[in-house]
Amino acid sequence: MARLRRCGVLRDRRGGPAVEMAFVLPFLIAMVLAVIEIGRLLWTVTVLQFAVEQAARCAVVDSAACGGTGTNTAQCNAAGWALGLGLGCGDFTLASCANGAGKEVSISYTFQSVALEILPGGKFFTVNLNAGSCYPV
């Protein structure tokens, strides 16, 4: 032991910050990725709610353009408002409101985490999201 002290091996502290960084960096990266994924989740919830609200409103206010048959259905308009999610017309449902006086548009969507997959042992984190809006006549 005395020989190691004389050589300076036990007194050398130059690699301390590198070791500390090796311990802290994985947790820091995991925290940053978690914040990004929570932001993506909240953005997805907001986009889905906006899309169903606008589609329900459009189906009642301008039923000729939104509530008709063909490509101008309320579901296709909702898919157009759900930017960045890659949804189609068939993902949204259009029905009458519970009281029968209005239109309701709804969707059930499964959110999958992307960033958390790259962590060691990471699995896809999925959340089932439901959004719906009833616009009265």
**Domain map of the chain by residue range?**
16-136
d(CA 115, CA 126): 12
pLDDT at 42: 95
Tokens encoding 67: 């509530």
- The whole-model pTM stands at 0.77
- In the chain, DSSP assigns E strands to 92-96, 102-112, 126-136
Q: Is the pLDDT of residue 130 over 90?
A: yes
* CB contact at 8 A, 58 and 81: no
- Partnered with residue 67 across adjacent β-strands are 73
Q: Which residue has the tokens 């985490």?
A: 113
Summarize the confidence of residues 90-106 as an average pLDDT: 88
